[in-house]
Amino acid sequence: MSSEALELGDDALIAAQRLAEWCASAPELEEDLALANIALDQLGAARLFLSYAGEADGRTEDDLAYLRDDREFRNCLLAELPNGDFAVTMAKLLFLAAAQKLRYDALAAGPDARLAAIAAKTRKETAYHLDHAARWVVRLGDGTAESHRRMQDAVDALWPYTHELGERAAWLALVEPVLAEATLDRPADGWAPAGGRDGVHTEHLSYLLAEMQVVHRAHPGARW
């Protein structure tokens, strides 16, 4: 199985599930549409990557999404963390989309033709997500005292989890200018939790999977 396809598929799947939690709960109607659209894009990416990841051993995208336990998921910890407030969600999206864009760009020029085709497709959507998140981070960071405080809190709380996202220098080159424009302090590097790529997750993933998988597992093989 392609471990890269599995990691990217799981990142996108778990991000889609988290973003979908905002449906009908976002701060305004336009953002409700935006988050649902981004979730849909992430789900589309997840289906492409997981279909490919499962082919080697005869598993479908549904097998991988609905019939694996937490220890078998390879998503980064950042993706599974709770949504928090809107600032936390936008910081998560900024950090994840920047990492996704870099990995998709590399894959699009890589030797695996199938992964290259998927990445060339998904990177266009990810670039739009990254831009959307960056605009919100700037607006909230460089906004009122309250929005600035909450955006800074979100960045500080999530920063440790960004060390797991892959190639650091290129990622920082995407994220640091956004934080600067948003008048936010770039947190110091320190604690760097990891384990998602090895299947060692936070407790949050189990609850997410329980909700995401319950219908499929309760009614195996059901169709409509």
Partner 1 sequence: MVSDARAAAASVVDPELRVVTIGDLGIVRDVRAGADGRVTVTITPTYAGCPAMDVIRADIRAALAAAGHADAEVVTVLSPPWSTDHITDAGRAKLAATGIAPPEHTGTVTLALSPRCPLCGSPDTAQLSRFGSTACKALWRCRSCGEPFDQVKAY
Residues that bind partner 1 (CB under 8 A): 30, 33-34, 36-38, 40-45, 47-48, 113, 116-118, 120-122, 124-125, 128, 132
Nearer to partner 1, 47 or 92 (CB): 47
Nearest to 216 by CA among 12, 62, 14: 62
Nearer to partner 1, 98 or 118 (CB): 118
In the complex, minimum distance from the CB of residue 131 to partner 1, in angstroms, rounded to a whole number: 8
In the complex, minimum distance from the CB of residue 61 to partner 1, in angstroms, rounded to a whole number: 12
Q: Which residues, 6+ apart, have CB-to-CB distance to 131 below 8 Å?
A: none
Nearer to partner 1, 38 or 178 (CB): 38
In the complex, minimum distance from the CB of residue 29 to partner 1, in angstroms, rounded to a whole number: 8
Q: How many helices (H) and strands (E) does the chain have?
A: 9, 0
Sign of the Cα pseudo-torsion (60, 66, 67, 71, in order): positive
In the complex, minimum distance from the CB of residue 117 to partner 1, in angstroms, rounded to a whole number: 4
In the complex, minimum distance from the CB of residue 48 to partner 1, in angstroms, rounded to a whole number: 6
Nearer to partner 1, 33 or 214 (CB): 33
Nearer to partner 1, 26 or 174 (CB): 26
- Report residue 211 as tokens: 């909700």
Sign of the Cα pseudo-torsion (57, 62, 68, 74, in order): positive
d(CA 7, CA 138): 29
